[in-house]
Amino acid sequence: MYSLRNKVQLIGNLGKNPEIKTTETGKKLVKFSLATNEVYTNNKGEKVKETQWHNLVAWGKVADIAGKYLNKGSEVVIEGKLITKDYQDKQGIKKYFTEIQVNEILLLSSSSN
């Protein structure tokens, strides 16, 4: 039951090709963005498509899979957890950002890009 405390599942499409990086300590990571779409009818009877963008990061073996098989436009299912980080900008103001640390990836379709 502990694993349900911070769990995210999304189905969406990659906005661009994954960015593969290696840390100073030699760990491999892949960063990518995922778009999820929701379609609903508003109170005027109009269909509205709403897109949300999510920042994702994968480490280790999951990073290897993401870097090898994912491309811009790929449709995937991801499972992971929310990570919130902070930093100070040039003016000394504390900023926060949230990303999803991916634990599992399921490729639904590939892109020809």
pLDDT band at 100 (very low <50, low <70, confident <90, very high): very high
Domain of residue 58: give its range.
2-109
Q: Over the stretch 43-77, which tens digit does the pLDDT of each residue have?
A: 999 999 999 999 999 999 999 999 999 999 999 99
Q: Is the pLDDT of residue 41 over 90?
A: yes
Q: What's the structural domain count of the chain?
A: 1
Question: In the chain, pLDDT over 90 holds for what percent of residues?
Answer: 89
**Residue 84's pLDDT band (boundaries 50, 70, 90)?**
very high
Residue 62 Cα distances to 31, 32, 86, 103, angstroms: 11, 12, 24, 7
CATH number at residue 49: 2.40.50.140
Question: Does this model's pTM top 0.85?
Answer: no
